[in-house]
Amino acid sequence: MIRHIVMWTLKRPEDAPKVKQLLDSCKTLVPGIHEFDVGIQTEGLEANCQVVLVSTFADAAALAAYQPHPHHQSVVAQIREMAATRHVLDYLS
């Protein structure tokens, strides 16, 4: 299994629900996605970013199929316009 975690700080924090909606549309793009959870900053709880994606893929091939998928690439382009920073960590789990 490969865990794929991405965190974004947005130029406009109020865009977090839109980013979540965009990411949620990617949940079933390719076979091999076992877990796909998008969270947004909750008022009153500690946060250094506004949006986080925590996903698990069956293997490197599933992640490799997800990355270039046309719908995913469209979502990436839209989020890139709203994001100030992006951090990613992929690791074997």
- Give me the pLDDT at residue 9, please: 98
- Give me the pLDDT at residue 82, please: 98
- pTM listed for this prediction: 0.95
For the chain, the average pLDDT equals 97
Assigned CATH topology for domain 2-85: Alpha-Beta Plaits (3.30.70)
The 3-class SS string of 34-46 reads EEEEEEECCCCCC
Dihedral, CA of residue 70, residue 16, residue 81 and residue 85, to nearest 10: -100
Tokens of 7: 């965190």
> By the 8 A CB rule, do 66 and 33 touch?
yes
Where are the domains positioned within the chain? 2-85
Between CA 16 and CA 52 the distance in angstroms is 10
Average pLDDT over residues 31-50: 97
